[in-house]
Chains A and B, each alone.
Chain A
């Protein structure tokens, strides 16, 4: 089966947007966007390790994200995570370490710009399989735990008293985030991935009455952003990742206006 590169980009982007809807909504509700940035910034280390150990890129990415997420989950258990400074420290020191490794690794040349802004037009069929496998898994886990996630997002004590395994679910949530970020990295890049999760969900908030509506609308707005972004990028020859994020922002502004009338 041969697909041209624009079609592949569309399919891949839509796949990421699909899971970005519910996950982005959760990130907003739980105020985890700093955590998301930290995960994203650490992924360059994953790229380096994958090259260093000569393993599959995605395995390196997912591996490092899961390690960082688990580390952060552990810190949040110790009640240290509240500190933005700590997140920023981990976020930027892993990025710096990744940048150094990317430069000094012998015989390795990493396309740093592609890494920072994403390279959605270069994704191939194998990438598509990774994207859909990981995202379907993520969607399945989120759907399965949805009610518990809502419960503990509203109030952790109340959820715990009602028998929700709070610590375990928070950990699973961080792992799911880690996997989605690792996969989405190649599409929109380190600097923009959080935007693709946050902006459509913020737009969806304007005309949603239930958490589920917000998750679904966020997915739809995200897909719309991906499609518009790729078209814009093709038409005006813009870098694709940034074009997607700018589309998302424009769609957000429209939904803000639309939401005013709707209410």
Chain B
């Protein structure tokens, strides 16, 4: 129980550079259990680099990345392209996860609605289906922390909403922490506990509502809609089940 007090991840004053080019400066970030933290920012802001630093794929020049000891991380990469010369079914892809078994794969496939895809070749499924398969793979290791790099990529708008609802649902049922990169401001925010607006440094961070009205955020993304609207999900949604309790 006492272990729950510590965050899953804490990034302290991290600085990342490739060669002489500075990518990230003085980044602080924590993710707790049952918390969704969303990273947003323009292209080239270093969102993926920050995620990769948390995962240990990129080393920080200075600063520290602390992970809770014994943490299991489920990672959903931004892109995954299976070479067409490799015969690989969705089932086989999922079964490559360490420490998984058939029962687990069947259960998670059912939860994510990809059961009918299990025997399909990885190359034959659509973009939206692939994202679900990747999410399933990330969930197979029973993660304490889910790291999702642009999970809604290549998914149409309706599919995106469903996917984000699914992510919120995963947080609510599994109580794992979620660190997510997104370029989509409108759909993401409702389920998010904390938003970090990144542009090589942390421009602003906090509750979605606060970030959306922060001058630095407005400077980066403009104010195409009334600021308040940006935090609403389901602008075009007629189902009001999850997250539909719109705050005004």
Task: Return chain A residues, CB-CB under 8 Å to B83.
Answer: 28-31, 153
Q: What is the bound-complex CA distance between A213 and B88, given in angstroms?
A: 10
Q: What is the bound-complex CA distance between A154 and B73, given in angstroms?
A: 18
Asked if A28 meets B85 with Cβ closer than 8 Å, knowing A151-B96, A162-B97, A211-B92, the reply is yes
List chain B positions with a Cβ less than 8 A from chain A.
52, 55-57, 73, 75, 77, 80, 82-83, 85-89, 92-93, 96-98, 137, 141, 147
Closest Cβ–Cβ distance, residue B206 to chain A (whole Å): 28
Asked if A29 meets B85 with Cβ closer than 8 Å, knowing A155-B80, A162-B98, A162-B141, the reply is yes
Q: What is the bound-complex CA distance between A115 and B174, given in angstroms?
A: 62
Additional pairs, 18, CB under 8 Å, beyond known A150-B96, A157-B77: A28-B86, A29-B85, A154-B82, A155-B77, A155-B80, A157-B55, A157-B75, A158-B77, A158-B137, A160-B55, A202-B85, A205-B85, A205-B87, A210-B87, A210-B88, A211-B88, A211-B92, A213-B87
In the complex, the chain A residue whose C-beta lies closest to that of B48 is A157
In the complex, the chain B residue whose C-beta lies closest to that of A166 is B57
Contact between chains at A161 and B73 (CB < 8 Å): yes
Contact between chains at B98 and A211 (CB < 8 Å): no
Q: What is the bound-complex CA distance between A37 and B88, given in angstroms?
A: 27
Most chain A CB within a 10 A radius of its CB, from B55, B85, B137: B85
Does A70 reach chain B (CB closer than 8 Å)?
Answer: no
Contact between chains at B57 and A154 (CB < 8 Å): no
A-B contact count (CB 8 A): 61
Does A209 reach chain B (CB closer than 8 Å)?
Answer: yes
Contact between chains at A157 and B92 (CB < 8 Å): no
In the complex, the chain A residue whose C-beta lies closest to that of B74 is A161
Closest Cβ–Cβ distance, residue B96 to chain A (whole Å): 5
Q: What is the bound-complex CA distance between A161 and B56, given in angstroms?
A: 8
Q: What is the bound-complex CA distance between A147 and B96, given in angstroms?
A: 7
Q: What is the bound-complex CA distance between A162 and B92, given in angstroms?
A: 16
Does A163 reach chain B (CB closer than 8 Å)?
Answer: yes
Q: What is the bound-complex CA distance between A210 and B87, given in angstroms?
A: 5
Does A20 reach chain B (CB closer than 8 Å)?
Answer: no
Task: Return chain B residues, CB-CB under 8 Å to A31.
Answer: 83
| Per-position binary interface string of chain A over residues 29-53, scored 1 when its CB falls under 8 Å from any chain B CB and 0 otherwise | 1110000000000000000000000
- Prevailing SS type, chain A contact patch: helix
Task: Return chain A residues, CB-CB under 8 Å to B89.
Answer: 209-210
In the complex, the chain B residue whose C-beta lies closest to that of A213 is B87
23 CB contacts below 8 A, A to B, read: A28-B85, A29-B85, A30-B83, A31-B83, A151-B96, A153-B86, A154-B86, A154-B88, A157-B57, A157-B75, A158-B80, A158-B137, A160-B55, A161-B56, A161-B57, A161-B75, A162-B141, A202-B85, A205-B85, A208-B87, A209-B89, A210-B88, A210-B89
Most chain B CB within a 10 A radius of its CB, from A155, A205, A213: A155
Q: How many chain-A residues does the 8 Å CB contact rule pick out?
A: 24
Task: Return chain B residues, CB-CB under 8 Å to A213.
Answer: 87
List chain A positions with a Cβ less than 8 A from chain B.
28-31, 147, 150-151, 153-155, 157-158, 160-163, 202, 205, 208-211, 213-214
Closest Cβ–Cβ distance, residue B60 to chain A (whole Å): 16
In the complex, the chain B residue whose C-beta lies closest to that of A204 is B87
Asked if A210 meets B92 with Cβ closer than 8 Å, knowing A154-B82, A157-B55, A160-B57, the reply is yes
Q: What is the bound-complex CA distance between A29 and B77, given in angstroms?
A: 19
Most chain A CB within a 10 A radius of its CB, from B55, B83, B87, B89: B87
Task: Return chain A residues, CB-CB under 8 Å to B55.
Answer: 157, 160-161
Closest Cβ–Cβ distance, residue A195 to chain B (whole Å): 16
In the complex, the chain B residue whose C-beta lies closest to that of A160 is B57
Task: Return chain A residues, CB-CB under 8 Å to B141.
Answer: 162
Task: Return chain A residues, CB-CB under 8 Å to B80.
Answer: 154-155, 158
Closest Cβ–Cβ distance, residue A188 to chain B (whole Å): 22
Task: Return chain B residues, CB-CB under 8 Å to A28.
Answer: 83, 85-86
Closest Cβ–Cβ distance, residue B23 to chain A (whole Å): 15
Asked if A209 meets B87 with Cβ closer than 8 Å, knowing A150-B96, A161-B57, the reply is yes
Q: What is the bound-complex CA distance between A160 and B73, given in angstroms?
A: 11
Contact between chains at B98 and A163 (CB < 8 Å): yes
In order of increasing CB-CB distance, the 4 nearest A-B pairs are A161-B75, A208-B87, A29-B86, A28-B85
Asked if A154 meets B96 with Cβ closer than 8 Å, knowing A29-B83, A161-B55, the reply is yes
Closest Cβ–Cβ distance, residue A117 to chain B (whole Å): 27
Closest Cβ–Cβ distance, residue B58 to chain A (whole Å): 10
Task: Return chain A residues, CB-CB under 8 Å to B93.
Answer: 154
Q: What is the bound-complex CA distance between A211 and B95, given in angstroms?
A: 13
Closest Cβ–Cβ distance, residue A198 to chain B (whole Å): 10
Task: Return chain B residues, CB-CB under 8 Å to A155.
Answer: 77, 80
